Amino acid sequence: MPETPHVSLRARAEVDLDVLYEIAADLDTWEERNPQAPHPLTRDGFLAGVARATDGATSGDSVSFVVDLDGVAVGGASLFAIDTFARHAEAGISLVPGARGRGIGTAAITELVEFGFVRYNLRRIHLQAIASNTRAIRAYEKAGFVIEGRQRQHAWVRGAYEDIVLMGILRSEPALRQTQ
Q: Residue 114 domain-assigned?
A: yes
pTM exceeds 0.75, yes or no: yes
Whether residue 128 lies inside any domain: the answer is yes
Residue 139, domain member (yes or no):
yes
CATH code for the domain of 30: 3.40.630.30
**H-helix or E-strand containing 139?**
helix 134-142
**pLDDT tens, position by position, 33-44:** 777 777 788 888
Q: Is residue 55 predicted with pLDDT exceeding 50? A: yes
Does residue 173 lie in a domain region? Answer: yes
Please give the residue range of the domain that contains residue 105: 7-177
**pLDDT tens-digit readout, 90-131:** 999 999 999 998 999 999 999 999 999 999 999 999 999 999
Amino acid at 172: S
What span, in angstroms and rounded, lies between the C-alpha atoms of 154 and 28?
18
Domain membership of residue 32 (yes or no) is yes
- In what side-by-side order are the strands of the sheet with 146-157? 7-10, 62-69, 72-83, 88-95, 124-130, 160-170, 146-157
Q: How many domains does the chain have?
A: 1
